[in-house]
Structure 1
Amino acid sequence: MPILTKNRKREDTMKLRSIVIALGLAMAAGGAQAQSIDLTLSGGNPGGLWSLLGAGLDRAAKAENPDNVITYQATGGGFANIGLLATNRSDLGLVHDAEVKLALTGQEPFKAPVTNLQAIGYMYNWAPMHFFLKKSVADEYGIDSLDDLASSGAPLTIGINRSGNITGDVALFMLEAAGLDEATLEANGGSFVRAGANEQGDLMQDGRITMATNGIFIGHSSFRAIDENTDVVLLEIPEDVIAATNEQFGTSSYTIPAGSYSKQTGDIDTMALGAMVVATDAMDEAVAETLARSVLEHIDEIRGVHGAMKQLSPELMVSQTVLPFHPGAAKVYKEAGLIE
């Protein structure tokens, strides 16, 4: 066979090998790019804010890769979600920072410390505790602050969120820190009434409670109903009560600006609960990295789920202090210059 023909065959063979190798690399790269996540997120009641956050997280994940899926699972709330995460029965959970603080130290309702939780990102920290008191009662007994309640002798019926909801625990703690425990309340002829956010508005309007307490966004529909349908004042909260609550629950101080409600003439200092997306140390680092990158790069998908979420920022996402970040999420935030 002529030498020229042999050389051409050799060249053709080498070109074919190069094409095969290139195709193989392209397929490998395409496979890596197409790698998707399929996660379950435990949240709260269907139709609530957390279900909206679940939808926003799913949209953010799909904006990163159309094959990504985050499936929202309705549960009893943060305490239930921590229980699911502690036993690795859920990939992700929405939880309040205050619930995490109790879980880490094994306080009620937890029987032992929960040690496998790792943060993906903070979603919000602007759900301040409110204490609305009927103005007629406030005027009659000279009450304008939480620490006036016990000494006033007023026979208060106080709405507290249902058992298993962290805002009920926080409200009870704050009232007791201000001197009003259950024994004192009953001695004054009053009582606690367990009721959810919207129920408290109805109970106030019907005269079945004289005071409503909860920790939700300023201007939440349940608060607007109380403000619009009942003549109420927003009570001040002593600084030492706020400080003690933050230490107990890992929450942060917050100010409800003057004018947020119809009869609120000045700023009200309080504390606020926050909520975060939490995974466990069993989550693969690459999965956590993909999730955190999706949220960070497509944050508008989450901001758009509710007017109150417009405040969400990359800086807020990394501002939680109660948990270590999952290594995969931490990698993303370090690359973005958000954490060291």
Structure 2
Amino acid sequence: MIKKSSVAAIIIFLSGLLAACGSGANGSNNSSESQDAAAEGNQQIQTTIIGGRTGGAWSVFTEGIAESIRKKNENALVTVEPGGIVENPSAVGTAKIPYGISYSMTAYAAYMGEEPYDKKFEDIRAVSVVIPANYYQFLALADTPYDSIDEIIENEAPVRLALDQKGSAGEIITRNILQSYGVTYEDIISWGGSIDHLGGSKTFELMADNRIDATGDAVSVPSGDILEASTAMDLKMLSLNQETIETVSEKLGMEAGIIKAGSYSFLDTDIDTVSTPAILMVHKDISEEEVYQVTKSIYESFDYLGTVHEEFKNLTAENFADAGKVPLHPGAEKFYKEMGLIE
């Protein structure tokens, strides 16, 4: 038989054990709360950036930005997800993903609810420029009987034109260029030409077979695809006239740009065109402190980014804040004002 004194001792022991466990649990919670508070105080960043297709240049751009943030912020956890130029603004605008990369022109179209978007994504905010300029480049086979888009229109040339999918940045720019002349795809077809929506590799394959005459897209300079294509066929690039540049720039939120002679082996004169930067976007509800730190991290990483991709070498203090017509996030704006980059 167990003595009453022994039972009492056991009860006291178990009570003490439970109290200790309770204290331990509370201690754990307090510790967790302290760690969370410390992390918040240190502006620890845990976020996601949506970028480009896996393996493409834009995936490299996105990973470079992500690594800049990781390098400058201890314990930062920055995940990169694949995306697309047109898809990314809506993903950020609906808070599906906190950060994303796109063209300034497509981010602005999403913000305004203009083509290719069917509603406004007014919660998009700009952080910074990532790649300062992506130039619209209208390429044609060297032996085509025209040397400007003006000549194509004036002579109603039966041009066989290949473009990316409808609603892509390059397709929208091309369509707006034609519209500035009062010309539609149907007009080109009526002249005996054709309009095909093809990917870049397929387009250049058909151009090499003399089944496509020309193509237009907004890409970096020099573009790897164009460099490769120029080894298989003779190409030329056509300028835009100033009236078209002004019209398209105003409509799409772009800028006038010049592709310098020598940018490609076949290019012996400067090309007048339109351009748009690639920018980092963020949802408006991301904290001012975090976006400030992200902006600062990228700004302090120009040298590193230049080792990631050649295009990053064009990123400077002078163009870093020039993110186009999408409103700046307050965190980015605060950093730029501190650095004297904006007033």
Shorter-chain-normalised TM-score: which range? Answer: 0.7 to 0.9
Aligned residues: 309
The answer to whether structure 1 residue 286 and structure 2 residue 260 are counterparts is no
Query: What residue in structure 2 maps to residue 9 of structure 1?
Result: none
CA pair 64-261 structure 1, distance change in 2 beyond 3 A: closer
The answer to whether the Cα contact below 8 Å between 2:136 and 2:218 also exists between their aligned partners in 1 is yes
The answer to whether the Cα contact below 8 Å between 1:104 and 1:114 also exists between their aligned partners in 2 is yes
Deviation at 1:180, TM superposition (A): 3.8
Query: What residue in structure 2 maps to residue 108 of structure 1?
Result: 115
Identity score, percent: 25
Aligned with 1:58: secondary structure? helix
Aligned with 1:317: secondary structure? coil
Query: What residue in structure 2 maps to residue 307 of structure 1?
Result: 310
Query: What residue in structure 2 maps to residue 60 of structure 1?
Result: 68
Unmatched 5+ residue regions in structure 1?
1-26
CA pair 181-32 structure 1, distance change in 2 beyond 3 A: closer
The answer to whether the Cα contact below 8 Å between 2:162 and 2:215 also exists between their aligned partners in 1 is yes
Aligned with 1:173: secondary structure? helix
CA pair 92-32 structure 1, distance change in 2 beyond 3 A: closer
Query: What residue in structure 2 maps to residue 19 of structure 1?
Result: none
Query: What residue in structure 2 maps to residue 93 of structure 1?
Result: 100
Match of 2:56 among 24, 48, 54: 48
Aligned with 2:143: secondary structure? helix
* Counterpart residue type for residue 122 of structure 1: V
The answer to whether the Cα contact below 8 Å between 1:146 and 1:178 also exists between their aligned partners in 2 is no
Deviation at 1:32, TM superposition (A): 6.0
Query: What residue in structure 2 maps to residue 79 of structure 1?
Result: 86
The answer to whether the Cα contact below 8 Å between 2:132 and 2:314 also exists between their aligned partners in 1 is no
* Counterpart residue type for residue 280 of structure 1: H
Deviations along 1:283-325, one digit per CA (max 9) or x if unpaired, are 0111111111111122223232211221111221101231221
- Give the TM-score normalised by structure 2: 0.84
The answer to whether the Cα contact below 8 Å between 2:49 and 2:100 also exists between their aligned partners in 1 is yes
In 1, distance between residues paired with 2:136 and 2:221? 9
Deviation at 1:68, TM superposition (A): 0.9
In 2, distance between residues paired with 1:28 and 1:82? 30
The answer to whether the Cα contact below 8 Å between 2:124 and 2:284 also exists between their aligned partners in 1 is yes
Aligned with 1:102: secondary structure? helix
Deviation at 1:29, TM superposition (A): 10
Match of 2:221 among 207, 210, 218: 218
In 2, distance between residues paired with 1:224 and 1:298? 28
Deviations along 1:198-233, one digit per CA (max 9) or x if unpaired, are 332212112221112111112212111332221222
The answer to whether structure 1 residue 203 and structure 2 residue 210 are counterparts is no
Query: What residue in structure 1 maps to residue 321 of structure 2?
Result: 318
Deviation at 1:78, TM superposition (A): 2.6
- Give the TM-score normalised by structure 1: 0.85
Query: What residue in structure 2 maps to residue 8 of structure 1?
Result: none
Question: Aligned Cα RMSD in Å?
Answer: 2.0
Unmatched 5+ residue regions in structure 2?
1-34
